Structure 1
Amino acid sequence: MNKNNKKKVVLAYSGGLDTSAIIPWIKEKYKFEVIAFIADIGQSEQDLIQIKKKALQSGAISAYVYDLKEEFVKKYIYPVLHTGALYEGEYLLGTAMARPIIAKKQIELALQLNAHALCHGATGKGNDQVRFENVYTTFAPQLQIIAPWREWDLNSRSDIINYLKKKNIPTEITFKKIYSRDENIWHVSTEGGILENIWNQPKKDCWCWTTDPILAPNTPEEIHLKIKNGYIISINEKKYSYLKSLKKLNQIGSKHGIGRIDIVENRLIGMKSRGCYETPGGSIIVKALQSLDQLILDRESLKWKKQVGLEMSYTVYDGKWFSPLNQSLIDSMKSFTKRMTGEIVIQLFKGNITVLKKKSPYSLYSETYASFEDNKNYNHTDAQGFIRIFTLPAKIRALKNKNKN
């Protein structure tokens, strides 16, 4: 076959263990030309130039780097924050939020280059295979999907290390330190290795961003956040873009050991998995927005938001970002975000976040009504009629039960 007639596949390439092996493997098995798509979503310690160089050295015919950081923060992270979504009460969805933007931009490149196929490096045990392929089939169902982990005979990451050695492709992963990591501007996750035994305590090398809370500064730090329409716009009276504010809060939070969690979660495909997540800036923002909600939302609205957040945590985790359901959940919060404006003062100390002060022009809190001091604004006897109505079902039930006896 003439080289010019070869089919092309666009690979979502990270430069990590799996995707490094995928390039030579695809060339061997499919005889496709491999184009590496590299998404810059804020990987702090990765040199994207070197990753691009590595992709080419591994056999890709070309490599493209897309800077997606601003769009990722504004159009993916914050819509999730506005719903208050936390998967199973703790996980801030760092990996799940990143996959939709990566896959969508990967598709755009594939269509632009008239590629025949799309490829990802997600394992056959994980959630990411579903997340990537849900987006692929939503926007480009005509393209072939290649999922090496479901096809090749490399059954473990140890097998992959040996395969890369045979191909003379360098890797920083060793047999003694086999972690699976995912990093972006929002978080870093660590899985595998010693963590697969849930009785093993995470070692120091498990944590990448954050200081051990025990070793964090002995002096608390206060930060003053200003929020407008649900977005952080200033930190300690200094204005920042959405992206730069997250970077700044990551820096501050990491110093104080903020945002570490070690959880066992339910994967979409049915098994449980253990993950250690670090989300320092994100944890601060979540706490700030929760505090603001306490001021601006009435009881029924807050209840509704929690229901929306719970539902969205599953749609995002399950890779349904571009579904009508997920879009409706995002849209349902817009009336609330118009009022998510205010100021929050937070204290950080050895892994803990404490809200010290909060105010909002849309606050429903009234000191006049809430005060225990004597005032003429609230008549305590008004509660008597309310309680009679509120407890009427209980009264009727009690009378019925009494008559039965």
Structure 2
Amino acid sequence: MSGDVKKVVLAYSGGLDTSVILRWLQDHYGAEVVTFTADLGQGEELEPARKKAEMLGIKDIYVEDLREEFVRDYVFPMFRANALYEGTYLLGTSVARPLIAKRQIEIAKETGADAVAHGATGKGNDQVRFELGYYALKPDIKIIAPWREWDLTSRTKLIEYAEKHQIPVPKDKHGEPPFSQDANLLHISSEGKMLEDPWEAPDMDLVLSRMVSPEKAPDKAEEITIDFEKGDPTAINGEKLSPAALLTRLNELGGKHGIGCIDIVENRFIGMKSRGVYETPGGTVLFHARRAMESITLDRGAMHLKDELMPRYAELLYNGFWFSPEREMMQAAIDKGSELVSGSVRLKLYKGNCIITGRKSPNSLYDADIVTFEEDTVYDQRDAEGFIKLNALRLRLRGRLQGR
């Protein structure tokens, strides 16, 4: 096997799993390993990952801050689609994988690597998301997925392998963490172990890390404004912010008021169901604000078409088809529809609730002269009679037939 792969780019977190993978790649394939660690806003110090890679003998080490690119080029385009998977999930993990895959392939080209590797298991969605991205961007790339190949089939074996090869094992790994977490600037997902029984209520004091529970949120509501330009948020309370800084601020505001936690059972792409607890405070606030902004700036036909496209868009992203032609086609239509989605939305944040209290736009289609209940000169109510009769024609014909 050693001749098959000469150099491999590993998506490397610095944790136990990917540290074992790093050494396993060296032993099993005899390959030179290049590590890539992405800062997507997970809230962890990444320098320890660099030092650990150095300690394990790695020469080419990439540690990169991708927060702005992540929010600007992946999170915001997804939010323009108002994407919700199965009506609830804001796709926080799903949207991060294409960027990691893209950068891995770029590094493979820069370093002359002939393979890429990831630490996703053979049961989850991430293996599909990573690998569809790899193949879309470099069709001839070799992919190594250790969890589908090796015989380290338990946490105990993983720890034994690490200790045998002098790979540091955090103390909490010996005692098994109560659940696994994945984090980025958009969300934190918690899955597995104590959360696997969908009937057992999660211990929110243990699970929540980016937000408080609604019960512990302040007793006083906080009102904020969010400004939009062409579908994307640009400012909070009048202060212009970069994409990553804006989402960070919304996380702080939403998290403070207990907004954005969901406990769901979802359908994984590979066929099984999975229970997870997801924290998306800033994304939840942004989702509601965007819908309010669109409500006065989008034409009815355009808005309803977006709502029809959304489930398909969300499913594509969830399943890993970010780089597919159909997602790009839908994105072009969605972005076209966002050109006039500009203005301001006012929201009240209170104990898990995100309440819209106002919206305004220079492109507003809301006309007070037409919708008023007072007397007006721009809408002849008698026109409604013909409108209703024309729409009722087929119903009346059917009714006559049934009445015979």
Q: Which amino acid aligns with 1:9?
A: V
| Structure 1 residues 200-255: Cα deviation after superposition (integer angstroms, max 9, x where no partner) | 21112211111111011111101111111112111112111111111111111111
Q: How does 1:159-170 map to 2 (within 5 A)?
A: 159-170=157-168
Specify the alignment match of 1:48 in structure 2: 46
In structure 1, what residue type is equivalent to 2:259?
I
Cα distance, 1:61 vs. partner?
A: 3.8
What CA deviation, in whole Å up to 9, does each residue of 1:29-67 have, x standing for no partner?
1111221111111121x1111111122334534321122
Instruction: Specify the alignment match of 1:186 in structure 2.
Output: 186
CA contact (8 A) 2:5 2:114 kept: no
Shift of 1:6: 8.1
Cα distance in structure 2, aligned partners of 1:6 and 1:294: 53
Contact map agreement 1:191 1:274 (CA 8 A) in 2? yes
Gaps of at least 5 residues in structure 1 are none
> Partners in 2 of 1:304 and 1:113 — Cα distance?
44
Provide Cα deviations, 1:259-314, integer angstroms capped at 9, x if missing partner. 11111000000000011111111111111100111111222211101112211101
Which TM-score applies when normalising by structure 1? Answer: 0.95
CA distance in 1, matches of 2:158, 2:208: 24
Counterpart amino acid of residue 384 in structure 1: E
Aligned to 2:6: 7
Match of 2:144? 146
Contact 2:2 2:31 in 1 (8 A): no
Distance 1:300 1:157, change over 3 A: farther
The superposition leaves residues 98-145 of structure 1 with CA deviations (integer Å, 9 ceiling, x where unpaired) of 111101111111111111211000110011111111111112222211
Distance, in Å, in 2 between the alignment partners of 1:325 and 1:159 is 42
1:199 aligns with 2:206: no
Question: Paired residue for 1:285?
Answer: 286
- SS of the residue aligned with 1:75? helix
Q: Provide the C-alpha distance between the structure 2 equivalents of 1:159 and 1:293, rounded to a whole number of angstroms.
A: 53
Partner of 1:119: 117
Match of 2:31 in 1: 32
Q: Which residue of 2 aligns with 1:69?
A: 67
**Using the alignment, how far apart are the partners of 2:199 and 2:2 within structure 1?**
55
Give unmatched runs, 5+ long, in structure 2.
none
Question: Cα 1:159–1:207, aligned 2, differ >3 Å: closer, same or farther?
Answer: farther
Indicate the SS of the match to 2:139. coil
SS of the residue corresponding to residue 86 of structure 2 reads coil
- After superposition, the C-alpha distances for 1:173-200 in whole angstroms (9 at most, x for unaligned) are 4334242211111111111120011122
Tell me the TM-score normalised to structure 2 length. Answer: 0.95
- Residue identity over aligned pairs, in percent, reads 44
**SS state at 1:222 partner:** strand
**Residues in 2 aligned to 1:222 and 1:159: alpha-carbon distance in whole angstroms:** 52
SS at match of 2:375: coil
The question of whether the paired residues in 2 share the 8 Å contact of 1:23 and 1:59 is answered with no
In the TM superposition, residue 377 of structure 1 has moved relative to its aligned partner by 2.2
What's the counterpart of residue 359 of structure 1? 360
State the distance in 1 between where 2:319 and 2:50 align: 30
Question: Please, which of 79, 85, 88 is the counterpart of residue 86 of structure 2?
Answer: 88
Alignment match, 1:299: 300
Alignment correspondent of 2:270? 269
CA distance in 2, matches of 1:251, 1:198: 29
After superposition, the CA RMSD in angstroms is: 1.9
| Helix, strand or coil at the partner of 1:274 | strand
- Please give the alpha-carbon distance, in whole angstroms, between the structure 1 residues aligned to 2:333 and 2:76: 14
